[in-house]
Amino acid sequence: MAAPDVIVIGGGLHGCSSALHLARRGLRVTLLEKDHVGRHASGVNAGGVRRLGRHVAEIPLSLAAMELWHGIEGLVDDDCGFESHGQVKVAESEAELEILRRRVAEFGSLGYSHEELIGVEELREILPAVSPHCRGAIICRRDGAANPYRTTFAFKRKAESLGACIEEGRLVIAEERPDGVLIRPALALPIEIYTPERKAEFLLSNAVDAEDYRVAIAEVKKMGLKPASIPHHKPRKAHP
């Protein structure tokens, strides 16, 4: 087998996305993950997909990323559980509302219109249970959320379909040398051994709805295991 053009270290969302986009450009890619894909923060987080509240330096990237999210199925053949219902930042006082007002005005002067200032009436239409003392908010109407575990695996599958090699259980150390970076295998004493059954339990128990559960079952079957034999928690709306 030919040596890879690029080695990606880490099988979180950034690593899998890097592998995918490099493979799309025709490069030979190997991704090395010390545990298994999505095991850490990329697989279990709030799943927020937002432009709201970004530092000004982050705005161009977050705007470009939002366009990708609204067409995510065309990129990874999975909608990743993405839903766009908007996100709001609530002002609990007139002083906080003034801060938000200045922020929107500043961004408007820079040509950005993704954050809108809304008054208390529209805020209550959007969030009927918001506390009575709240005075208004900033809203980003196209922001939303996705399922993090499902998203990470969607990027993994698509990268593999384009020829990327993803190796799990591969702990390495990267050493900076005068002539480059040396990547060498490493050994660690595991606190927990990630058996195929433990990995399957993680996949099944992290499904949040029927569609996620269906995807998890398919992944477990690919591992040669029977989902029904794995102790796990089913999402409430999962099919029997």
Domain ranges of the chain: 1-47+147-191, 48-144, 195-240
SS3 helix, strand, coil % of the chain, rounded to 5?
40, 20, 40
- Please report where in the chains the tokens 């030919």 appear, as a residue: 2
Residue 184's pLDDT is what?
84
**Across residues 60-67, what is the average pLDDT?**
97
Q: How much is the pTM? A: 0.78
Residue that the structure tokens 């591969």 belong to: 170
Is 60 exceeded by the pLDDT of residue 117?
yes
Please check the confidence at residue 239 and state whether its pLDDT lies above 60. no
Specify the CATH class of 1-47+147-191 in words. alpha beta
pLDDT digits (tens, 9 = 90+) for 73-97: 999 999 999 999 999 999 999 999 9
Residue with tokens 């993090």: 148
Token pair for 237:
């709306």
**Inter-axis angle of helices 148-161 and 210-222, nearest 10:** 40
Closest-CA residue to 81 (of 16, 12, 151): 151
- Top-confidence residue, 78 or 206: 78
